[in-house]
Every structure is written in C-alpha cells, then in structure tokens.
Structure 1
Amino acid sequence: MITPALREALRARGDETAVLCHTGAGARAGLAGLPTRPSDLVLDLDAHPLGAPLDLPGGERPEAGLVAVVAATTTDLRRALTTAVHLPRAAHVLVALVAVPGHQDPPLPASPGMGQWRDLEEVRVRRADRQGWLCELFFPNGVDTAEVLDAVLHGTRGRRRGLAVAPLAALSGPEGALWRPGDTGATGVPATGPVPLRRVTPVADLALRVTARGGRAAWEDAAVPALDRATTGADAWADLAGEDGHARLREARSAAGPDPVSAIAPVDELSVNPVGFTKAEKGPLGDLTAHGDRAVVRAGDKVLVDVAPDGTVTDVDLARLRHLRGVRVAWSGHTGPSAAVRAVASLAAGGVPLLSGPVPAWAAGLGRPLGDLLEGAADADLTDRLRREEHSVRLRRAALRTHGLRTRWRSLAAEAGVPVPPAPRISVILCTRRPEMVGFALAQIARQRGVDLEVVLTLHGFPADLPGVAAAVAEAAATGLRIVVHEADADQVFGSVLNDSAARASGDLLAKWDDDDWYGPDHLADLALARAYSGAELVGTGQDFVYLQEVDVTVWRSRESETATRFIAGGTILTDRVVLEETGGFRPLPRAIDTQLLLAVTRGGGRIHRTHGLGYVLRRTGGGHTWSEDMAYFLHNYARQWAGWRPSSLLEGEPAEFGRSITENTGGQR
C-alpha cells in the first residue's frame, strides 16, 4: 500500500524535485523500486546530522513538488520530526506510518491554527495495510514540511500537544534527534556554531553537540552555552575491543562529566511509556539477549523485537511484548554500553516487567534506583499478578524520572547554568463536612513526595477553630505543607463549594482529594507523570483497591490501567486549571460532581487517562457516598480479597494522623 501510493505521488508531482525520506528499521523498503529521477533525493533521516542543510535547488528556501516521509513507527516519526527542520517546503506532503500500536488514534492532522493552511486543497487519510496509515496533504502554494509532520503527530494524541521541553535547544551532529525527538522548535547548527538569531534574540538557550569521537571543534558562540555528548556508537563493543579501547571509552564519557546517567540519550516518554500495559502474569518470559550480531527480545525461539543499534525501543516494539509476563536482561549482544542502557531504560519506561542478575559496572548509566530494582526482582514476582504490576510501576517510575526527555533536559540545563521554569505546582482540593477526618486527610497529603504542592482545605459547615481541626492544621503546617483554609456555609451546594475552593488555589494543576480514602506517598507524582506521557486533559486512577469497612474486608478489582477511559475515581482527579475553566468548572449540584466533570471533558473533545490504581484505597462505609453502588457490588466484582485492611505495598502503610495526640490530651474532637 505504501509503495504504490508513493509511485502514484511521484507520477503526479510534475517536473519538480521529490525528497523521499525514511526513518526507523525497515522503513526504507517502502521506497524500493520507485521511478525516481537524478534530481530527486532519497534521505535517511536517522543518519542525517543536525546542522547540515540539504543540497537542493532553490537557494536558502528550496521547495519540492513532493516530500514523503516513511516512518516505521510513531516513535521513529517523532525522532525524525526534529531532523525535518532541514526539509524543504512542498506542495504535496505524504506521511506513511508502517505500523502503529492498537491503542493509538488515527493520524488526523491538526491544523496549526494561525492561517498557514488556508490554501489547503485536499487531505487524504487512509489505512496502509493492516497496521499502518497513510496521510497526504496538498497545498498549491507549498507548505512547511516539518509543520505538516508535527500536525500529523499531534493528531495521534488528541487535541493536547503535550508538555513543552525546556530549554530551547540547538542541535549538532548525527544523533541530535535522539536527544530532542518531536521538537520542531529545535534548531540545527554547525559544530562550531553560532546559534542563529531571530532579530536580536538567539533561537535557542542551549546547544548540544553530538559527535562520534575525536577532537571537538571550538564553540564560537559566547551568548549560548554548548554541551558535548557522544553518539551511542562511540562506545561500541567492536571499537572498545581494540588496543585503545579503554581510552576510547574514557573519551566517549568524558564530555558528560561525573554522572554516567547524563551521558545517555533520553527516552521519549510521549511514545515510550506504559500505555497499553496488560495483566499477563500467565504469559511466557522473554529474554533481551544476543541473536547473531544484534540484540533482540525473544520468547523461546521466536524473535519478537529487533533492538535498534542505538538502543531505541519503539511504541510498536512495546505492543509486541505486552503478552509477556516479563523480560530477563542478559546484558550481552548489545551494540555497546550506551545502546544497552537505552534499551533497558526504554523497556522499563514502557512498563515491561524486567529482571536480571547483577548489573555490570559498564551499565552505571542506568542509575542506581533502576539497577537495584532489576537486581532485586525474581521470576516469582512476575507470576503473581499483583506483585508483577507493583514491580512494573516501580520500574516505570525509576526509568521515566531518570531517563525521561524532560528530566534529561532539565539536567542538561542545570549543567550548563541555564535556568528553566519551575515544575508546575499542584493544588490539592480537600473539601470535607467531617471535622474528625481533617487530621487523617492532611496526614495523607503531607507525605506526598516528588511534587510541589499546596492544599486548599475547605471546611464545609464547621469552623477552623475546633480544637481537633486547629491542632491538625497546625501539625500539618509544621511539616512545611502550605495550607489555605476556607470555611464554607453548611447550606452551600457541594459543586459550588468546590468552585470556591479552586478559585483560592494558586497551583497550575488541581487535584481532588477525598477525606476518608488512603493515598500512597507517590500518588500525586504518579498522576503528574501520567499527565506528561499520556497527553490527556484529565488523569486519575481506577477504584482498584476498596476497603469495605462494615465487614472489614479489602477487595482488589484489578481493573485495566494505563488506558483511555470515561471513568476514574473521583478522589483521584488531576487536571490543569485551564481544563476546569474550559469545561465550566464543577456543576452546582449536591452529588455526582465528579461524573459531571468527566462528561464535560469528553464532550469538549478532551481525553481521560486512567493510570495504575495501586497507590489508592477507596473506603466504603455504610452510607454517605456519592457513588451509589452497595457493598454487594464489590463483593461480587474482584480479583482478590483479604480480611482486614490490606493495600498494595505501593501504598507504604498508613501515616500517623495529625492532631490525634493533641486532641486526646485536650478532650477535643475525636
């Protein structure tokens, strides 16, 4: 399907030049046997160095009749988007995706919205064989090719573009796109600089030069600092085996400073992430090992994934591994240390349960937290459904927080002394009618880690000077927790109270919190992570763990996680302030407030993502819940149940309640 479409496009382009590009393993096959002309260009986007312009007719602003990009996967297309800044304008742009994972939306282009596409003549989007897509756009006066590729990628993720990566980057070298995938704002520059100006302002705040090895040219831009990194092939085993191997290894790592993690090209979390994770504890165990001259993941004699020489793992690769209960890392057969670390970090970021023997010293770039998790796991952890998912969550946390694109570039900025904006603050909205639950809820919030947060505590129908309440607030504030206290009238409708609470919040993100449920210390950090990799307007967890207080039983429902959904637990909602504004806020109703917000988000074209539910326990008592299902519903819908309170190990127990000792001594509340 792809090759015939390209052949037809070449016939229709007239006398103009065609640029045929490919990216990712096997994508070049789609360009085989095409009727090209001597003036046409066939380009490997993975090999083209950033900062090297194409040799095309047309001077500084060349144009082509056709630019076609064949990408093996969405991950490859995102990487190629960075290199695409060198592609010419074109009247006809064809984008082919050879394969996409089943959970991905069709690549319906999203117009940039500034009038650039007013002369668009035609758009065609159709299936390419069983797993791929073809997208073609026709502009009689030409269009910026990188802009079209960006629009196609945007279409696969819904209306949200995703979080920007800071700082603005200039890139030089053959693997520059590995360090900044999916960024049309990145600029290619020569190895010596300088960074171009837009009027009087540099177009980037930090330059990164990626080179194979050997002496690096002097950097000639005093206004923009530059850092150097080695390509993944610079420490290839084939080179390190020679007489000067140790010297080459030191040379490859010297530019990255003392931290071996910072020498590793990051994981693109927008395409390599746990979305699509499955409960597959009964599946076979795969192996990341050598097969001939390459690294592969195989199950028995069947090769499931060929790992790219640079260690890249794609979204399609992850989809091919979801049926495995896990993958055993053999630490052999990789191109070299950097490629091996990238592959293992990518699998972990994708939520693939991994285990291994001792991590070799040359793999220090993994980071100690991720290495410890790999060494500490056993096959028995992967054959139990709950323990398997717990291990997967720990791995993905460590990998994404250590090797994620945003994390890496914040680290590079710090190394170069370039300031970046602070991480978004989360405002926790806690509204309660029960004075006796204030200390319990604040203790859950105060132990949150890895996020900048405040809590807006709304006392619905009672004053803040009640002894138990005042003591709990004081004890929570003593931990450094920022608390805004608001008293709402008892007769004010609940939805209106929530809107007043949101108006008092100063954070960029708003998280809803129930006063009687249990939350693990990484609850908010996990939601923030899911927001980053899912691109959803609203994220939350399922009601997986439920404690039935009347009968003292905990049930685990083991629901599907890391998926788009229409329903999440209301006490776990995290969304941007602007999303709440766009949906009209909370409806002024006494109940079903959370459901109404979820409906409003989906009606407005937004997406809801459900991440894992292992760090949250819903408490069910005899009554007073806005969700009307009775206890029998939970007792007949579960994967496991236990007597007593039995959360996931990710909850890390229960914190001591604030204000209890003081109120007991004063005879106050509780």
Structure 2
Amino acid sequence: MITSAVRQALRTRGDEPAVLCLIGDLGPDRAELAALRLRGNDRRVDLDAHGMGRPVTVEGIGGEGEPSSVGLVVIAADGLTDLRRAVTVTTQLPPTAHLLVVVRHVPAHLGPLVPAPPTIDEWNDLHELRVRRFGNRGWACELCFPGGMSVAEALAAVVHGPRGRRRGPGVGVLGGLSGTQAALWRPGDVAARGVTATGPVEIDRVTPVSDLVLRLDDGGGLPFWEDVEVPAVDRLATDATVAPEVRSPEARLRVYGTDPVSRVAPVDERFVNPIGFTKKTKGPLGELVEVEGRVVVRDETCVRIRPTPDGTVTENDLERVRHLRGVRVGWPEHGDTATVRIVAALAAGGVPLIGDPAPMWAAGLGAPLAELIAGGAEDVLLDPLRREEHSIRLRRAALRTHGVRTRWRSLAAEAGLPVPPETRVSVVLCTRRPELVGFALAQIARQRHVRFEAVLALHGFSADLPEVDAAVAEFRATGIPLVVHEAEGEKVFGAVMNDAVDRASGTVIAKWDDDDWYGPEHLADLMLARAYSGADVVGISQNFTYLEELDLTVWRGYRSEVPSPAIVGSTILADRVVIEDVGGFRPRPRAIDSQFLLAVTRAGCRVYRTHGFGYLLRRAGGGHTWNVDLGYFLRNHTEQWIGWRPSVLLEGVPAPFGAQADRHIDHPGEHVERL
C-alpha cells in the first residue's frame, strides 16, 4: 500500500521535479520504493545516510529565474520515531508544493496521522489535506501548498498530531548539526541547522542561527572549527555504522567528552517511552543477544526486534516486545555505543531488564541504570507488583539520563553555555485540618529531581496556631519557597483552590491532599509523564488505598501509562495555562477535581495516567469531598494486605514537621518506616 500511494503521487504531480525520501527499516517496502522509476531531475534520498550540513539540491530548482519549490516531496517512514528524525534532516530540503507522508505502522496507543498546524496564518495557503489509513495500522497524509511550504515545518506538524496537543518542554539551546547520524541527537527540531564540519554558523541578520554545534566524526577525523562565536562539541559516530576502511587510528584513540554517558546519542523520549506498558507476567522471557554481528531481542520462537546498526529502537519495536515479561541482557564481548542506546531505549520504554553486571564498554549507560539491570532477578518478573516497580525504576533512570533534553543541556554545560532553569512546579495544598499541616508539608519537602515551591491555603484557620506555625517554620528552614494563604472558612473549596493557584508562581500546578501519602519522586514522575506523553494534564491511577477503618491496604492493578481522564484528583498536574483555559476550578464545595477533568476533556485537552506506585490514598471514616463507601475499594482488587503496606517506591514516611504534629495524626503504627 505504501508503494501504491507513492506511485500515484509521482504519477499525478505534474511536470515539476520530485524528491523521494526514505527513512527507517520499512521492511520489504524499502526495496519496492527504491526500485520506483523516477524522472531525470528527480532525487531519491536516504535520510538515514544523508548527513547534516549537506543541503539537498534539485536540478532546476532554486536558481536564478527558477522556481523555488519542487512539485512533490515524499517521506516514507517505518514509524513515528523515524519520522521525528526525518524532520531534522528535511530542514535541508527545498520547499515543496505537495507533501506526501506515509508511515508503515503507528501503534494503537497513538492517534492517526492528522497534522497539528502550528498557527492558523502559517497555513492560509493550504489548499488540500487528505488523511487515509491503509492496512492494519499504516497511515498516509497529503498536504498541498501551491505557493510552497517548508518540508520540515509541515512534517513537524504531521508527526506531532498523533502525540497530543502539547509539544513538550524545549531544550533551551538552538542546535547546529554536522555529519551523518546527527539527526539522532536532535530529532524533530525544525530549528536545527546543518553546518559544515569547519563552520561557520549561518547568521540571520546579526544573530547566529545556532547556539551550539554538534559535530560527528565518522572515523576520519574532524577539521579545525573556524567559528569563534559559536562553540562546537565533537562526538564519534556510532561504531557500528563507521566503515572500517575510513577509521583512522587517531580518530579511534581520541576521546570525545569526559563523561561516557554524554558520548551516547540520546533516546527520543517523545515516542520511546512507557506508553503502552502491560502488566503481563505470563509471557516468555526475551533475551538481548548478538546474532551475526547484530544485536537483537528474541524469545524462544523468533527474533522480535532487530534495531538498526546505530542502536535506534522505535515505538514499533517496543510494541513488539510488550508481551514479554522481561528481557535478559546478554552483554556482547565487544560492545559499542549502539548497544548502549538499545539497552537505554528498552529501559526508557518500561521493558523490565535483568542481566549480569555491565562490562566496562557499557559505562555510557550510567551507573544508576547499570546497577538496576544487574540488581534485577528473574523471580521479580513473575510477580506483577515487583515487576512494575522494577520497570518504573528503570524508566526513571533511562529517561533522566538519556533523554534528548537532558543530553543537550549537558552538551551546553560542556561548552560553557548557560541554559534556562528547570520548570518550576507550584504544589498547591488546601486544607481545613491544622493537625495535618505538618504531615503534608513533610512529604512535600522530600520531593526530589524537580524544582518546586509550595502554596499552603489554610481554609478557615490561622497560621498562628502553634502546630501550624511550627510546621511552617520547619518547612521554610529547608529553603524551599512557601506561600501561606489564609482563606475564610465560608468560602467554598473550589474558590479557595483558585485563590491558591493565583498566588502560585510556577508554570505548572500540582494538586496535593493533606492526608494521603506521597513518595519522594511523585512530582518527578508526573513531570516525566508530562514530557513524554504530550498531555495537557497528567495524574496517576488509584492503585494503592489504605482503608483506615479496616486497617487494610488494597492494591487495584489498574492499567497505567495510558491516555485516560480516570486519574486521582489529589495527583492532578497541569500547566497553568490549561487551568486558565477552562476557567479554573468550579466554585463548588466538593467534586472540584472530577469537574475540572470534565472541563478539560470538553475543551479538547488530553489527560494522561501514569503509574501510581509512589502514592497511597488514605480512606478514613469521613471528611472526604469524594463520597463513596468502602465497598468501592474492595471490589475488583488485585491484592490486599493486613495493615499499612504501600509500594516500596513510596520509601516510607517522613516525620511530620512541627513539634506538636505527632499528637494530632494517627500513623499506622508499626507498619510505618520512619526516615
């Protein structure tokens, strides 16, 4: 079907030249597309092999008196990860009047190939848009701009559509790229610029178009960098794609970057992430091994995925191994950065990995990820609870260490460039119970891997109460910013929440309850999900509940890592602009969380549910704005335990802040680990 769609577009495009671009595996379709007959002035480009810094020229286009746009550009990709990489390379293509994008397979958890235009006025020249599905999960999207359109910008809109509305946090540094494989380091970036190996960087009026240039050495060495204003950092291309005949001894001995992690091309977290994770423990155990010089993942029946020689794992690869209960990493005797990328990508995708201690050549994984893989045992993969805990630890380490944004911020630091501060999260806590202030503030204070402040709304009581004053003083002693707001007791809950949000300075708002338990990476997990999901609102599934009256902990194995509005209200994390878009919280005394989520979905926003292993809902006898009976929590549970037993990822409970706090809250006795 891909070949038919491409052949039809080539036949009907008129007299103008065409550019046929291929990227990714494409299976048998690649050979068929490569065999299509083209006209003399047409171009066929392998985007995987086309280096940055080499503009694609087309005969008869762009010269004096010649048209500036080609008649047709075709981008044929195996999946969306490949398509994101194509965005970066196609910044070097001439504009086109007709763009055809065909993707062989899009997983079920992602949407159709419907473009998300950047702004209305930029697409005023759009004359035709056609989206169609072919086969089981293949998609084609056609856009016609008679006046011509930037291929990269149009392609970026197409690849963004299946993810959701938000584009996610940016890197903060404009990147220039030079060399083959450079797109691996900066996928999906329409602002990336190809630069020659010597430079200099192009100037737009008085400003360089890049802040930092990454040069890749294919094994033959790199020339002197001539630009004195824009710094360059150098890296060696992935060994597996460097032909032996072009390798020089000097290039092999040169060390690019003191940190072995920074020498590894990053993982594109926008599509290589835990979305689609399954809780299956009865599937076969896969193994990562080297077969005929290629690293593959196989089970007892066949090879499941065969990553490309540069170590790229795609969203389609992850879909093919979701049925496995885990993967045992068999370290090759002589590995390279491609193998490191494969392992990091599987971990970022939530695939449970186990294996022997990593060899020296795999130092690029980073110590935390390598230790987690070596610390996993096969029996962990047979228990659904422990298996998912292991997966969460792996994905945390991989996404924080090997994501594109993380890698470029480290490259900028290496080059001595400042980067924007991390996003500030405002944790909003609204409470009517002074005895719980110290309990809640202690849990907020132990959050890690995130930049945050706290906004405490005291609903109907004063901050001068001894237990409140002591708790606030102890929290402020940590150095974390805290805003205290005293709200009138007559005000409804929704109005108090809006007042608290108004006093927050963060661009992201996180809702917090006063009596539930939160692990130290609760906020960090939500911010990770916000980055890779493309959702406007994220939260967690209600996995663990402590029924105080029964002294019983219930685990309900809800599916996680899925787009879903069914999230716990006390874990809502949303961009401030989203809250403004829906008019804030409704001025009601209860059910403000469910009403907010309803308003968000009505506004066309996307809600995403990540895991709930760093959270424990407390269900006491009364005083809840969410009124359901205990039977609700006892139905359809996966497992239950006598006493207080959260996931180990909760990491115990910190001592409440304030000298008098312990007299006012009934902790679950001997089950609580004191920190």
2:37 corresponds to 1:38: no
1:49 counterpart residue number: 51
SS in 2 for 1:471: helix
Maintained 8 Å contact 1:160/1:537 = yes
Distance (whole Å) between structure 1 residues aligned to residue 198 and residue 594 of structure 2? 56
- What amino acid maps onto 2:253 in structure 1? R
Structure-2 change in CA distance of 1:592 and 1:239 (3 Å)? farther
Could you tell me how far 1:398 is from its partner in structure 2?
0.3
Distance (whole Å) between structure 1 residues aligned to residue 628 and residue 382 of structure 2? 32
Maintained 8 Å contact 1:179/1:265 = yes
2:314 counterpart residue number: 314
Maintained 8 Å contact 2:125/2:147 = yes
2:161 counterpart residue number: 155
- After superposition, the C-alpha distances for 1:504-534 in whole angstroms (9 at most, x for unaligned) are 1111111000000000000001111110001
Could you tell me how far 1:613 is from its partner in structure 2?
0.2
2:609 corresponds to 1:610: yes
SS in 1 for 2:123: coil
2:127 corresponds to 1:125: no
Maintained 8 Å contact 1:71/1:77 = yes
- After superposition, the C-alpha distances for 1:173-229 in whole angstroms (9 at most, x for unaligned) are 001100000101101111111111111111111111112123311111111111101
In structure 1, the gaps of 5 or more residues are: 666-670
2:248 corresponds to 1:250: no
May I ask how many residue pairs the two structures share in their alignment?
A: 658
2:670 counterpart residue number: none
Could you tell me how far 1:469 is from its partner in structure 2?
0.8
Structure-to-structure mapping, 1:350-429, within 5 angstroms: 350-429=349-428
2:486 corresponds to 1:484: no
Maintained 8 Å contact 2:240/2:338 = no
SS in 1 for 2:157: helix
Maintained 8 Å contact 2:438/2:657 = yes
Structure-2 change in CA distance of 1:333 and 1:46 (3 Å)? farther
2:673 counterpart residue number: none
Structure-to-structure mapping, 1:594-605, within 5 angstroms: 594-605=593-604
Maintained 8 Å contact 2:656/2:662 = no
- After superposition, the C-alpha distances for 1:403-448 in whole angstroms (9 at most, x for unaligned) are 1111101101101111111001111100000011001000110110
Could you tell me how far 1:600 is from its partner in structure 2?
1.2
Structure-to-structure mapping, 1:511-530, within 5 angstroms: 511-530=510-529
Maintained 8 Å contact 1:236/1:337 = no
Could you tell me how far 1:236 is from its partner in structure 2?
6.6
2:140 corresponds to 1:134: yes
Distance (whole Å) between structure 2 residues aligned to residue 168 and residue 310 of structure 1? 24
Distance (whole Å) between structure 1 residues aligned to residue 44 and residue 133 of structure 2? 24
Distance (whole Å) between structure 1 residues aligned to residue 245 and residue 557 of structure 2? 48
Maintained 8 Å contact 1:586/1:593 = yes
Distance (whole Å) between structure 2 residues aligned to residue 511 and residue 102 of structure 1? 29
2:331 counterpart residue number: 331
SS in 2 for 1:524: helix
- What amino acid maps onto 2:62 in structure 1? G
1:668 counterpart residue number: none
2:669 counterpart residue number: none
SS in 1 for 2:579: helix
Structure-to-structure mapping, 1:22-33, within 5 angstroms: 22-26=22-26, 28-33=30-35
SS in 2 for 1:120: coil
Distance (whole Å) between structure 2 residues aligned to residue 292 and residue 473 of structure 1? 63
Distance (whole Å) between structure 2 residues aligned to residue 486 and residue 4 of structure 1? 64
Maintained 8 Å contact 1:432/1:515 = yes
1:277 counterpart residue number: 277
2:265 counterpart residue number: 265
Maintained 8 Å contact 2:440/2:513 = yes
Could you tell me how far 1:248 is from its partner in structure 2?
5.4
Maintained 8 Å contact 1:293/1:333 = no
Maintained 8 Å contact 1:325/1:383 = yes
2:563 counterpart residue number: 564
Of 462-471 and 626-635, more deviation after overlay is shown by: 626-635
TM-score where L is the length of structure 1: 0.96
2:172 counterpart residue number: 166
Distance (whole Å) between structure 1 residues aligned to residue 519 and residue 469 of structure 2? 24
Could you tell me how far 1:272 is from its partner in structure 2?
0.3
Distance (whole Å) between structure 1 residues aligned to residue 11 and residue 221 of structure 2? 46
Maintained 8 Å contact 1:235/1:248 = no
SS in 2 for 1:348: helix
2:219 counterpart residue number: 213
Distance (whole Å) between structure 2 residues aligned to residue 226 and residue 313 of structure 1? 27
- What amino acid maps onto 1:6 in structure 2? V
Could you tell me how far 1:621 is from its partner in structure 2?
0.7
Could you tell me how far 1:30 is from its partner in structure 2?
4.9
Distance (whole Å) between structure 2 residues aligned to residue 32 and residue 203 of structure 1? 34
Distance (whole Å) between structure 1 residues aligned to residue 626 and residue 388 of structure 2? 27
Maintained 8 Å contact 1:327/1:355 = yes
Coordinate RMSD, CA, aligned:
1.8
Distance (whole Å) between structure 1 residues aligned to residue 338 and residue 109 of structure 2? 27
Could you tell me how far 1:575 is from its partner in structure 2?
0.8
2:581 counterpart residue number: 582
Distance (whole Å) between structure 2 residues aligned to residue 664 and residue 389 of structure 1? 36
Distance (whole Å) between structure 1 residues aligned to residue 146 and residue 241 of structure 2? 47
2:122 counterpart residue number: 116
- Identity %, equivalent residues: 60
Could you tell me how far 1:628 is from its partner in structure 2?
2.0
Could you tell me how far 1:14 is from its partner in structure 2?
1.7
Distance (whole Å) between structure 2 residues aligned to residue 34 and residue 513 of structure 1? 59
SS in 2 for 1:207: strand
- What amino acid maps onto 1:609 in structure 2? Y
Distance (whole Å) between structure 1 residues aligned to residue 586 and residue 642 of structure 2? 38
Could you tell me how far 1:140 is from its partner in structure 2?
2.0
1:508 counterpart residue number: 507
- What amino acid maps onto 2:54 in structure 1? A
2:237 to 231, 249, 264: 231
In structure 2, the gaps of 5 or more residues are: 665-675
SS in 2 for 1:70: strand
Maintained 8 Å contact 2:112/2:139 = yes
Maintained 8 Å contact 2:436/2:661 = no
Of 579-588 and 225-234, more deviation after overlay is shown by: 225-234
